[in-house]
Amino acid sequence: MSIEKFIEGIPKAELHLHIEGTFEPELMFEIAKRNNKKIKYTTVDELKNAYSFNNLQEFLDIYYAGANVLIEEQDFYDLTWAYLTKVHEQNVEHVEIFFDPQTHTDRGISFDTVINGIYKALQDGEKKLGITNVLIMSFLRHLDESSAFETLQQALPFKEWIGGVGLDSSEVGNPPSKFERVFAKAREEDFTPVAHAGEEGPAEYIWEALDLLHVARIDHGNRCLDDEVLVEKLAALQMPLTLCPLSNLELKVITDLKNHPILKMMDKNLLVTVNSDDPAYFGGYMNENYWGIAQALDLSKKQITELVKNSFKASWLPDTEKEKKL
């Protein structure tokens, strides 16, 4: 069996996925039309041509602009349902997905509208497609602490629907320490904490995520390789790193998939996983991410299997469910 078919067939889990980053241009135009919202580009092709980024910020500017057309609960449902049906075709069986409430509440959309739409689609995904899920609420780190606190407050009535809190958006200049108090409160309220760290920011931000936010996973974490002591600590803790190969390539974190550090990280006994981050913007969902690194790094089926198992191991599935997948 070819490595491509092997990757397609193996049941997978996704642990690093921004639901707003799954907004495909075709659906964006459809939703914009029904909401009478303008898009800066006149055709799907013109929009797709704008997807060329030199860094994280250039991507974020386009990603937030795209999310502007999402207004009604049905829009959030359709966005989430489209993602679930897509990954169902790719044999993804479990997803842990981020949503960015502030991207919407700052535009006057209510927290309830956003979460109701996403949650109902996730419920249907479980019932109709058999995809289990966890929802993670992510704070935008370029905004201030009080906005994050306000968002946490809005989330409390929906605690049963939200498994964790995360930290995303513009990394450099917005270290985890900025949100130490918000994360302390979130942990008190039983949300499991994760944070993007070491994507563009330094290894020091990964230390802060561990020591100050007490995270259960690091999202990205590429820059840990700059600090040997940190690598040893992450390996000893078996702290999961949610890597995103195509994202790294598109945001120029790496220059070529052949330089992707995933193999080096496996050699150092780090618990690394493969994920798609923002698949509508970076040219691929789960299978495309696995294919990309498998080809560039000449991965064996055994290595692919290990990576897939890592994802289930690092997931927040109950232990009994996890065992069935390993």
Give the interface with ligand HPA as residue ranges (CB under 6 A).
18, 21, 56, 63, 168-169, 196, 199, 247, 277-278
Residues in contact with Zn ion, shown as a per-residue x/- string from 19 to 38 under the rule CB under 5 A: --------------------
Q: For the CB of residue 180, give the shortest distance to ligand HPA in the complex, in Å.
A: 19
Nearer to ligand HPA, 63 or 111 (CB): 63
Q: In what order do the strands lie in the sheet with 92-99?
A: 12-14, 92-99, 132-140, 164-168, 192-197, 217-220, 240-243, 271-274
User: Could you tell me which residues come within 8 angstroms of residue 212 by beta carbon, excluding any fewer than 6 positions away?
Assistant: 176, 177, 180, 183
Q: Is 277 in the site for Zn ion (CB under 5 A)?
A: yes
| Rounded-to-integer distance, Cα 24 and Cα 133, Å | 21
Whether 160 is a known active-site residue: answer: no
Helical spans, DSSP H, in the chain = 3-9, 25-34, 44-49, 56-67, 73-89, 101-105, 111-124, 145-155, 180-188, 203-211, 228-237, 245-250, 262-267, 279-282, 286-297, 301-314, 319-325
106 marked among binding-site residues: no
Set 14, 24, 199, 200: catalytic member? 199
Q: For the CB of residue 155, give the shortest distance to ligand HPA in the complex, in Å.
A: 18
Q: Residue 87, class by beta-carbon neighbours within 10 Å (0-12 exposed, 13-18 middle, 19+ buried)?
A: buried
Binding site partner of 73, from Zn ion, ligand HPA, none, Cβ cut-off 5-8 A by kind: none
Residues in contact with Zn ion, shown as a per-residue x/- string from 81 to 120 under the rule CB under 5 A: ----------------------------------------
Q: For the CB of residue 20, give the shortest distance to ligand HPA in the complex, in Å.
A: 7
196 marked among binding-site residues: yes
Residue set of the binding site for Zn(2+): 16, 18, 196, 277
Site residues for Zn ion per CB under 5 A:
277
Catalytic positions are 199
